[in-house]
Amino acid sequence: MLRPWLSSILAIVLSITISACATATTQPKAQTSNNPQQVATPTAKRVVTLSSLTTDIIYELDQTKLVGITGSTLFKNDPRFQNLPRVSEGQTPPNIEKIVALKPDLVIGAEGFSNQVTQRLEKLGIRTLLTQVNSWQSLEELTKQIAQLIDVNPQPLLDRYQSFLPDKINQSLSTLVLVSVQPILSPNKNSWAGDLLEKFQTKNLAAQLQGKSPIAGYVTLSAEKVIEANPEVILIVSPPGSSPTSVLDGLKKQSFWQKLQATKNNRVYVFNYYGLVNPGSIDAIERACQQLQQDLLK
């Protein structure tokens, strides 16, 4: 039986199973024209966001366009968002009545989280956009798409993203990211974490692995497989809402743990879930990149 915190982290990882590009699963409704090649989409001036990442992106692009946001632990003490109405909190579904009362002309949600809400809003005549992000390219494409919808220049924010990445990489260490103990779960190349490691030219030992895990972008590993991989560096993910070292403490109890070169050389690092597994916010991504530079490139 899975421990309660493990069931929680698996549910969260499953809920952010995402595609390779950030696209509109539900395209914003556009005004039609007699010329099929000329389709005008009105600029959104009142936007409600249902994910922390899109909240942050909109704020950085043009904070005046935000009229409502989802509740998020990432923004709990962030003064930028204190005066913005919350249309949801925690795991509570977004409140349709609150959203409608804000009179948005665009509601941006996350695929897998917001589908039912956006479907109801569309029936009420409100434009919606569902987004998915699991790569650096998809983050950039999403930013460009949102910038176009609210009619602002995305380049300053795109430049900021680039500043998170290293200019020069002199080494490539074999690395394994572990997000749970039972089962041992690791991201392959088809995940945000896997793509981020590739940006740092890190040899992700699970990159090419495929498995029967129901979680797209993640594979389950046996203890034997971990020993065989024998990574130089291990990145442990701290699940949200639990002890920062909960996964690490569980791994230390495994018989294979002391056999790994990363353990012997003290190259085991604990990362926050937000930024490495779930992009979460721009600041979370930046912190993850800073830690990757510190831990992998030193």
Segment 40-81, tens digit of pLDDT: 678 999 999 999 999 999 999 999 999 999 988 899 889 999
Say what angle helices 282-296 and 192-199 make with each other, to 10 degrees: 50
Q: Is residue 4 part of a domain?
A: no
Overall average pLDDT of the 134-143 stretch: 96
What pTM, to 2 d.p., does this model score? 0.85
Domain span holding position 35: 17-163
179 plus 292 within the same structural domain: yes
Q: Is residue 1 part of a domain?
A: no
Q: What is the pLDDT, as a whole number, of residue 16?
A: 39
Q: Is residue 7 part of a domain?
A: no
User: End of a domain among 135, 163, 191?
Assistant: 163
74 plus 191 within the same structural domain: no
| pLDDT above 60: residue 111 | yes
144 plus 190 within the same structural domain: no
User: End of a domain among 141, 163, 185?
Assistant: 163
198 plus 279 within the same structural domain: yes
Q: Could you tell me the CATH number of the domain that includes residue 41?
A: 3.40.50.1980
State the Cα–Cα distance between residues 221 and 185, nearest whole angstrom: 6
Return all residues near 112 (Cβ < 8 A) that are at least 6 apart. 15, 16, 17, 18, 132
119 plus 150 within the same structural domain: yes
| pLDDT above 70: residue 82 | yes
State the Cα–Cα distance between residues 261 and 97, nearest whole angstrom: 55
Q: Is residue 5 part of a domain?
A: no
The total of structural domains in the chain comes to: 2
Question: For residue 20, what pLDDT band results from cuts at 50, 70 and 90?
Answer: very low
Pairing between β-strand 66-70 and β-strand 86-88 as defined by DSSP bridges: parallel
On whether the CB atoms of residues 178 and 186 are closer than 8 A, the answer is yes
Can you say whether the dihedral through the CA atoms of 142, 146, 148, 151 is positive or negative? negative
26 plus 156 within the same structural domain: yes
243 plus 226 within the same structural domain: yes
